[in-house]
Structure 1
């Protein structure tokens, strides 16, 4: 694994392994589960570290507890919105602030241009969603406008790609939960999170085919928001995380393994 191209080829496999680990250890009580989860996070972040650095330069990355010197490629088709949200939410669950802030400095226009360079298209709302997340983290003034646009454009009647059920049960609940978090409304946040988890379960158990897939193991975006809420409750007494669920691994949410080894 020397370049961003090779990292792209193994990212899906590592994230699959991480979700399988959680399916077998839903509380993330085993150190091996945390290691699989953090390795997936490291590779997802490394993909952007390498594909946003000048082509041909060397970039130091820690992956699976080992420092590695990899060669940057510059932006490619995998420098896309889907990979960005995955890397961002994984960094939040692993409490890797430097990584999530670095990701938030990746221009949305770059994600659009590089990600769609080979003809792949993403719903317009996704770019506004990313812009809203970046604005929140970096304290930019466009948060409200970007989040409003994302929520409006993700309405089933306006989205260019995706089934109405997917938008209603997987996309909107994430945005709504984030909205309540950004507003600082603890009760509304917990209600939205609980609803989002219920809808996630409903979607992934609606048929035997869906229920058999690992996609239903963990709602990554909602898990990331739960982690943010848990951390917030420790410095803002009026904000609480009250939702417990098999979809929210206890030892990831409560950062029990954080610091066990360098990330």
Structure 2
């Protein structure tokens, strides 16, 4: 993981595959978090602002709003140590079933039965002893709690990532809300599983 985070953004940009700018800014924020570098809050805000419709030129906007932007919001809540907001954002990300099941091909793909982005951020939060109060088939507990963990020869000793005490609240992440249905259970009432899904 550390080796991946040390890959310069210029190398990724030169790969020949074109992505919107917010993808690179989001990668930069994740690398900054993992490597514990300064400027994380500003980088996350930049990624969020770059994901707005006016700035999207490559990706389909439905993909951006329903899939790609969800982990940014969850990560934002995590950095703010907003436990209720984190679990609510996680619930809302998992409720966007309509995109994953819009076609038979998509439903049979990994994206059809796993919420990879939200799961990845939930794993970071789990490693930092952040309470995960959401249960869903899209968020397998065996992956979240590492029951299926396979050790890597490149990084034999996994180091848990801490909550950053210096992380400042980020702003500018709200969007209009819409409703999508999916059975998701919250382990506590604070997760707000019965309320409308987060901003889209």
TM-score with structure 1 setting the length: 0.54
> 1-side partners of 2:2 and 2:105: how far apart?
37
Counterpart position of 2:139: 248
In structure 1, what is the Cα distance between the partners aligned to 2:78 and 2:146? 19
Are 1:176 and 2:73 counterparts?
A: yes
Deviations 1:32-87 (A, max 9, x none): xxxxxxxxxxxxxxxxxxxxxxxxxxxxxxxxxxxxxxxxxxxxxxxxxxxxxxxx
State which of 74, 78, 86 in structure 2 corresponds to 1:189: 86
Change (3 A) 1:214 1:101: closer
Q: Secondary structure at the match of 1:157?
A: helix
Q: Is the 8 A contact 2:113 2:137 kept in 1?
A: no
Structure 2, unpaired ranges of 5+:
157-200
TM-score by length of 2: 0.70
Alignment-derived partner of residue 156 in structure 1: 53
Q: Distance in 2 between matches of 1:196 and 1:257?
A: 23
Are 1:206 and 2:97 counterparts? no
Q: Which has the higher helix share?
A: 1
Match of 2:2 among 91, 101, 107: 101
**8 A Cα contact 2:122 2:144, kept in partner:** yes
Highest Rg: 1 or 2?
A: 1
Q: Which has the higher contact order (CA 8 A, sep 6+)?
A: 2
**For residues 261 and 133 of structure 1, what CA distance do their matches in structure 2 show?**
20
Gaps of 5+ in 1: 1-99, 234-238
Deviations 1:198-229 (A, max 9, x none): 12x22112344533444312122211112222
Quick one: distance in 1 between partners of 2:58 and 2:39? 25
- In 1, Cα distance between equivalents of 2:102 and 2:149: 35
Contact map agreement 1:156 1:163 (CA 8 A) in 2: no
**Distance across 2 between alignment mates of 1:210 and 1:258:** 26
Structure 2 counterpart of 1:128? 25
CA distance in structure 2 between the aligned counterparts of 1:129 and 1:210, rounded to whole angstroms: 24
Please say if residues 48 and 72 of structure 2, whose CA atoms lie closer than 8 Å, have aligned partners that are also in contact.
Answer: yes
Deviations 1:231-256 (A, max 9, x none): 222xxxxx411011101111111112
Aligned residues: 154
